[in-house]
Amino acid sequence: MLDVRRLRLLRELARLGTIAAVADAFSYTPSAVSQQLSALEREAGVPLMRRVGRRVELTPAGAGLAARTEPVLALLEEAAAALAAERAELAGVLRIGAFPTAVRTLLPGALVTLGNQHPRLELQVTELDPVQVPDALRTGALDVALVHEYDYVPTKPDPALETRPLLDETMYLAAASPVLGPARDALRECAGQAWIAASPGTLCYRMAERLCQGAGFSPRIRHRADDFATVLALVAAGQGVALVPELALADCPDGVVLTALAARRRTLIACRAGTAGHPAIVACAAAITSAAPPYLRGTE
């Protein structure tokens, strides 16, 4: 019988390409990953990997096994979810991941609701950028998480994850003074100004860069901040202009002029494939959904 934990490592080797990357994703040592994959090879009875210089690559048998691993893992998750549904009450650890704005706005109320309804559920929250979420869900570091995607930064479907829509937000140009001209030209009018953007490599940075490039220029970035509350404070201080989503406006200070753009940000609830029906994740998704409406402009 093939060991499920080792199959998970093989799947990640097929996706990430190196043993070092797999070790980093699972917080293992490379030697530990190598030992587990060697044990899986012995269980399989055929070579699954081969050395190519200093790297390891999968054999056709290894690649085929890795490709078949995804539905197996999803079925096991579904079985665990079905067993959990038979229990009288929810208990155990639920690991929740979210980006900073959601941690500050959506999660506090959702955590209170979950704590009141399911007191034996131990809630653990991790703040992280959405680009880190898929790996965290795959490895089990998270059980459920909030992610987002932008019009200019679409995400590829991931067979290891399931998502459901939560919010569809307007993106705004934030400035310390009104932007002249029609709203459709607002970005172009700010081409020569200093900009405030997130750290390179984050989803928010890629969104700002591509949105500006779509308007015909590359932004001249003066300040970098990953928290929208900080970004808006810098805008109010006259330090530059920025792009912010609707959810961030719960922290909007005086002195910031907002111009609605055609671009949208979509926030989704994500979990591992096969776990969407787990009662703890169902309860968490319901609590977060109930907490969302008050933070959208125009709602009560």
Residue in the structure block whose two tokens are 């055929």? 46
* β-strand pairing of 220-224 with 144-150: unpaired
- In this predicted model, which residue has the larger pLDDT, 300 or 183? 183
pLDDT tens-digit map of 6-53: 999 999 999 999 999 999 989 899 999 999 999 999 999 999 999 887
Following DSSP, what letter does each residue of 37-73 receive, concatenated? HHHHHHHHTS--EEEETTEEEE-HHHHHHHHHHHHHH
Helix%, strand%, coil% for the chain, nearest 5 = 45, 25, 30
Residue 1 has which token pair? 């019988």
Q: What is the pLDDT of residue 297?
A: 55
User: Residue 227: in which H helix or E strand, if any?
Assistant: none
Mean pLDDT, residues 196-220: 92
Residue in the structure block whose two tokens are 């549904």? 85
Of all residues in the chain, the percent with pLDDT exceeding 70 is 98
Q: What is the pLDDT of residue 7?
A: 94
Mean pLDDT, residues 56-64: 93
> What pairs with residue 259 in β-bridges?
173
Sort 50 into a burial class: Cβ within 10 Å, 0-12 / 13-18 / 19+: exposed
**All domains in the chain, ordered by first residue:** 4-84 (1.10.10.10), 91-300 (3.40.190.290)
Task: Give the three-class secondary structure for 181.
Answer: coil
Q: In the predicted model, is pLDDT for residue 183 greater than 70?
A: no
* β-strand pairing of 55-58 with 49-52: antiparallel
Q: Which of 175, 193, 165, 190 is nearest to 270 (CA)?
A: 165
Q: In the predicted model, is pLDDT for residue 244 greater than 50?
A: yes
Q: What are phi and psi of 128, to 5 degrees?
A: -160, 160
Q: In the predicted model, is pLDDT for residue 224 greater than 50?
A: yes
Q: Which of 276, 297, 66 is nearest to 163 (CA)?
A: 276
Report how far residue 149's alpha carbon sits from residue 131's, in angstroms, rounded to the nearest whole number: 10
Q: In the predicted model, is pLDDT for residue 296 greater than 80?
A: no
Mean pLDDT, residues 91-96: 96
pLDDT tens-digit map of 251-295: 799 999 999 998 999 999 999 999 999 999 999 999 999 998 887
Q: In the predicted model, is pLDDT for residue 227 greater than 50?
A: yes
Supply the pTM of this predicted model.
0.85
Residue in the structure block whose two tokens are 């990640």? 12
Report how far residue 135's alpha carbon sits from residue 187's, in angstroms, rounded to the nearest whole number: 34
What pLDDT band is residue 152 in, cutting at 50, 70 and 90? confident
User: What average pLDDT does the structure give for the chain?
Assistant: 91
Q: What is the pLDDT of residue 107?
A: 95
Mean pLDDT, residues 236-250: 94
Q: What is the pLDDT of residue 299?
A: 39
What pLDDT band is residue 128 in, cutting at 50, 70 and 90? very high
Residues 125-154 as b or e (16 or more Cβ within 10 Å = b): beebbbbbbbbbbbbebbbbbbbbbbbbbe
Mean pLDDT, residues 103-132: 94
Mean pLDDT, residues 83-96: 93
Q: In the predicted model, is pLDDT for residue 298 greater than 90?
A: no
Of all residues in the chain, the percent with pLDDT exceeding 90 is 77
Q: What is the pLDDT of residue 155?
A: 78
Q: What is the pLDDT of residue 300?
A: 36
Task: Give the three-class secondary structure for 225.
Answer: coil
